Structure 1
């Protein structure tokens, strides 16, 4: 080995298949750093995905910029193979799929570009030619260019929605089989014949809030697994009382039970674009643990007494019995707060349906007062936290409503952002105070969530974009970053601030769970939220980390059901946290890929002159052969080439005619300059251009969208905010594609839709639940 005192935090460039030395993505390897004089720079070009895969040294690049040279090395040993099942398919090209077909030997192409072709033995080539299949690697001989493997099973025909979704799950190592009979037998029964009931003995052990507190929930439309409810009231001494009441999952899921083991293995509910896969069986997630209105439920509560300036003077933690009085969605709660009270509002609050006259007015005023007070408290809490440096970052949330019932639409032009922030702030407050309690009680084995400091070099693109409009980004602290982002406002272009916040999100380090006994105390902080300690407590129905935290909190306050000795040790908790982190990342990747799948299916078959395919885009990154753009209408990011594969550069005439001609492309700090024989043109950061969207189909891999330059002028038909338009368009995409997939499947099976459309959608894998990512994750998944 050559000792070059390389920073352990630095990336190491491994250029090409030879240097990888039969290592496969995911393997644990030993790397030798080569002589410094031979180090390489990553390419500054935009690359097609295929140039990154493994049949040659295609990613090897010359040393073009000494400031971007990376330590370069080669694999000299493989400590641990981490082979798994891979999604693959047979090649359409006889030459590419060369092999001895008489002997059943053939090369298959993995879905993942990073995995080399795999030689398998099978005699089912003809029947599976148009299928995605699962294969496993068995060995990789020293003198062989490709690893050997075997066929496992077929996932279905290429292009079918269910096949592509299954591929996404497999590639992200997400196993979501139906819950077993043994697991379901552990759970309570709740049917009309055998209804589940609370016991008097259990109620006596809890604080009963059913009559004393007005408790309600506010969630996205279509949400069935209601984790959290809230209460707020003014006390007789003039102080405020805020309560956060969370589903008591740990009452039903005991440590070491089959349900607990399965929940730990899954670690999270997986939300895809059109469906979800629950961490817990439906009898818990959608029923007994869900804090639906009008029903008595067990909860774990945190209740604070606050002064008029929102100082905490008393905190109570413990198990409770609650009865939520209202189940609201964001738009509805915002409308009530704004004083929009009419028949449409009442129609969307089932709890008010049987009330009339004065009684109805009293209940509505009572609800409005609670929402108003809650929003006032949340604003106060947020002001205190932002003063400490909390970041307001940007993310595009996709919310899909597939219910066939009518609902309140567009009640508020703010799209209920204030309500989102209110609920998020209350959840953040609860998570912070629970983290303080369990850390004080279990200093070496509490489960917390850490958001480390971002690397300064990650802010390069953000600084460049801001500088292009004369703004300056200060990244010396989270407070200074937040303050500088607040100043990056272009009155003529509302997209600018949102896009800069999105770039700030990309620059962040990843938040992760950890055991307090395995990290230095000064590293416990959460950078993005500006908190010294933080955890996840508010969503135990969909996150296993919260289940652990509930057990730790209840043990900390001396609850009789929780024995401290039964909590995981520091070493065990560290292993669990690493597993949860892995599953959480996999779930995020799968969610993103499923959204991209629906985007591709939506654009399939659309002509390039379709008005949905000609859209406005904003340049946010410059490369040596093009630019990266963001499309506000769809929330899509992608490359636009200014130099093609033949080396020609783009030129646009005054009539917006595009020509590819000889010339040079020069990248500067804030713009790309195109010098062709027809003249000079520039493309600046944060410049609006018009792009044409088309589908780039792939047989072996995931299809993608191609963005092509249509005009160097903006096309800004929409004046709505970036997030709102993206949400609406993505929701429309997903609903349209889902309906088409169901209809196609039904036609193939010769079914008659009749009056059973909803049940048939469920039969064929189409969930009626909305895909949503709770607001607090948007603030901390940076």
Structure 2
């Protein structure tokens, strides 16, 4: 009998002949072994499915077998690239740009162009430039790795990249879409090295008004690899120049003060662009994201922290959004039947109506009439005390539940142009152009853009073929997102096992009839607390009034003379929880700590 890790999947009868040879004699030896099982049938008259064992992964509770299980379950191809694929790569290394290719491109190698990425990033997709003009405006460039130069349509490399569709980012490693020679070297916009790019260059006012734009293939030489921390230091202390020792190696022809000034100018323009976007009705629902520090030798989590999304991140985001929107308009108007765009449908009406009714009932003035109205009222509504950010986090999570996923689509297949809109960004046309090293959709967009500019071969895909690839990219993106979440859960469970029990304040996010969900504030994780698991709980009572659910917990007092303690649990209630490792491998529970007095 095979018991799936996911309890939604039925248990499976497998033939004894599939099991290890000594299983019948010593079944207990395999109680904690992870296997992959394939369901072959599930008879209508049986509780259990029938299946075959495919392979053994190793011990449950160990990071690598558990990770491999997650990758296999979500059909992530993490095999080595085949010889056929590797033959598609440049064979004469070290590779240099052929002179005839250079002659076809805009040469930007003397410009002050740089990358801003996480400190550990090795696949550098995008670079930025910002040159002041004599009239007080700026020439701003977004320069994206020209992956389509190396990945030719229809070749073995293209076929495997289209099948993988996305790189998958785990806590401890990346499963790349492309071979490492491309994603970490030849396509990566590494500093002090000539690289092929696709550029979007605007003439733009200091207030972010676009006066002109240019698209084209280019060649750049990044002058420095900045981390988000470097850029943030420049933004935080505009008058203090970082020393050469505080920065990675810089190109000698671009002094540090030139780079520093370019970052500050980009930041000022980005602030204006962001302000205009939200005034124009955009919505952003930021949720806490947990990051880990890993032990260099064991690879196990040493610590964890909530990732800080700062001005340097926002700077990069604004110009990537701007480039994606500009390219979306360009390729749609040139190829109205074949453009690959990205749309975001409005939230599900019934769920929004229920949430609006709940907010009314608890006295929260949220306006769900549009993306912009929701963004504005969500940021105005929650007060300024020390727990307002926690309440906003809970409310943001509630508002995320009715939201639908953004999806890729082909414009020729979807006839109604009003359906092209991106709800959260509140724009009519949007696409993905800025990450072709890690997203195959961007590679198709690059090919469309090249064809539209006459600097690439014609578009070979029909509208139906573009739609088929778009649907596949959607499926793989959904799987990749889930794998990323499960990887973080796996590492946090390992952290709880190693360092727990962990105590934290938590805020209630939702109430069920026998349990409630909490946001654990110290770690940004969400966990369900089951009333039946709470030691010292005498009883509990659930009630629902309209859309509002509440539970009253009745705790036995530690001092029998004091009588029991009642604790009211509803959305936004602040509680103390303890995270504790379970006996089952890589599982942990959230337990409520007994209050010393009734909670307010």
Same-fold call, TM cutoff 0.5: yes
What corresponds to 1:500 in structure 2?
395
* Residues 293-372 of structure 1 mapped to structure 2, 5 A cutoff: 293-339=191-237, 346-352=244-250, 363-372=255-264
Contact 2:234 2:264 in 1 (8 A): no
1:497 Cα deviation (Å)? 2.3
Structure 2 Cα separation of the partners of residues 397 and 274 of structure 1? 16
Contact 1:461 1:621 in 2 (8 A): no
1:625 aligns with 2:523: no
For residues 710 and 686 of structure 1, the distance between their equivalents in structure 2, rounded to whole angstroms, comes to 17
- 1:586-735 matched pairs, under 5 angstroms: 586-604=479-497, 608=501, 613-642=502-531, 644=532, 659-662=536-539, 664-668=541-545, 669-670=547-548, 672-674=550-552, 676=554, 678=564, 680-698=566-584, 703-712=586-595
How far apart are 1:399 and its partner, in Å? 4.2
Q: C-alpha deviations, 1:196-229, integer Å up to 9, x for none? A: 1111111110000111x21011011100100000
For the pair 1:226 / 2:121, whether they are aligned, the reply is no
Name the CA shift for 1:175/1:241 in 2 (closer, same or farther; >3 Å): same
Partner of 2:315: 422
Q: 2:108 aligns with which of 209, 214, 218?
A: 209
- CA spacing shift, 1:708–1:403, aligned 2, 3 Å: closer
Determine the C-alpha separation between the residues in 1 that align with 2:246 and 2:62: 37
Of the structure 1 ranges 523-532 and 376-385, higher mean CA displacement relative to structure 2 is found in 376-385
Instruction: Find the residue that maps to 1:316 and give its secondary structure.
Output: strand
How far the C-alpha of 1:622 sits from its partner, in A, is 1.5
Separation in 2 of the partners of 1:468 and 1:285?
A: 52
When residues 369 and 342 of structure 1 are mapped into structure 2, their CA distance, relative to the original with a 3 A threshold, is closer
Contact 1:618/1:689 (<8 A) preserved:
yes
1:487 aligns with one of 371, 376, 380: 380
Pick closer, same or farther for the CA change 1:403–1:558 going to 2, 3 Å: farther
Match of 1:280 among 174, 178, 187: 178
Q: Distance in 2 between matches of 1:664 and 1:415?
A: 39
Equivalent runs, 1:102-251 vs 2, <5 Å: 107-123=1-17, 124-125=19-20, 126-127=22-23, 129=30, 130-189=32-91, 194-211=93-110, 213-251=111-149
Aligned with 2:417 (options 521, 524, 541): 521
**Aligned partners of 2:182 and 2:141: how far apart in 1?**
23
What TM-score do the two structures reach when normalised by structure 1?
Answer: 0.69
For 2:458, which of 556, 560, 563 is the aligned residue?
563
Cα distance change of structure 1 residues 296 and 461 upon mapping to structure 2, 3 Å threshold: farther
Match of 1:266 among 133, 139, 164: 164
Deviation at 1:111, TM superposition (A): 2.5
Q: In structure 1, what is the Cα distance between the partners aligned to 2:540 and 2:42?
A: 46
Corresponding residue number in structure 2 for 1:545: 441
After TM superposition, the runs of 4+ consecutive aligned structure 1 residues lying more than 6 A away are 340-344
Deviation at 1:466, TM superposition (A): 5.3
The 8 Å contact of residues 290 and 525 in structure 2, kept in 1 or not, is answered as no
Q: Secondary structure at the match of 1:685?
A: coil
Deviation at 1:697, TM superposition (A): 4.0
In 2, the alpha carbon distance for the partners of 1:209 and 1:474 equals 47
Residue number among 330, 333, 338 corresponding to 1:440 in the alignment: 333
What is the CA–CA distance in structure 2 between the aligned matches of 1:343 and 1:215, rounded to whole Å?
Answer: 18
Q: Which of 371, 377, 380 is equivalent to 1:478?
A: 371
Pick the aligned partner of 1:530 from 392, 410, 426: 426
Within 2, Cα distance between the matches of 1:499 and 1:681? 20
TM-aligned CA deviation for residue 468 of structure 1: 7.7
Deviations for 1:224-266, whole angstroms, at most 9, x for unmatched residues?
Answer: 1000000112223332221100000000000011111111111
Q: In 2 relative to 1, CA 464–400 (structure 1 residues): closer, same or farther, beyond 3 Å?
A: farther
Structure 1: gaps spanning 5 or more residues: 1-106, 406-412, 651-657, 715-782
Q: Give the number of aligned pairs.
A: 569
- Corresponding residue to 2:285 among 389, 393, 396: 393
Residues 583-605 of structure 1: CA distance to partner in whole angstroms, max 9, x if unpaired? 11101101101111111112226
SS at match of 2:201: strand
C-alpha distance after superposition, 1:391-447 (max 9, x if no partner)? 121122344555979xxxxxxx99561111111011001000100001101111111
Q: Secondary structure at the match of 1:517?
A: coil
User: How far, CA to CA, are the matches of 1:498 and 1:663 in structure 2?
Assistant: 27
SS of structure 2 residue aligned to 1:539:
coil
**Is contact 2:542–2:549 with CA below 8 Å preserved after alignment?**
no
Question: In the alignment, which residue of structure 1 is the partner of 2:154?
Answer: 256
- State the Cα distance separating 1:673 from its structure 2 match: 4.3
Distance 2:181 2:499 in 1: 42
What's the C-alpha RMSD, in Å, of the aligned pairs?
2.7
Contact 1:374 1:422 in 2 (8 A): yes
CA distance in 2, matches of 1:436, 1:456: 29
Judged with a 3 Å threshold, the aligned counterparts in structure 2 of structure 1 residues 262 and 486 are, in CA distance, closer, same or farther, namely: same
Unaligned runs of 5+ in 2: 24-28, 298-305, 555-562
Q: Shift of the alpha carbon at 1:667?
A: 3.5
Distance 2:350 2:373 in 1: 16
- Indicate the residue corresponding to 1:383 in structure 2: 275
**TM-score between the two structures when normalised by the length of structure 2:** 0.89
8 Å Cα contact 2:358-2:548 kept in structure 1: yes
1:498 is paired with a residue of what secondary structure? helix
Deviation of the 1:342 alpha carbon: 7.6
| Cα separation, 1, equivalents of 2:195 and 2:118 | 21
Contact 2:226–2:248 (CA<8 Å) still a contact in 1?
Answer: no
Partner of 1:604, secondary structure, is: helix
**2:450 equivalent to 1:554:** yes
Between the aligned partners of 1:349 and 1:263, the Cα distance in structure 2 is 35
Q: Distance in 2 between matches of 1:121 and 1:341?
A: 72
Once the two structures are TM-superposed, the CA of residue 672 in structure 1 deviates from its matched residue by 1.7
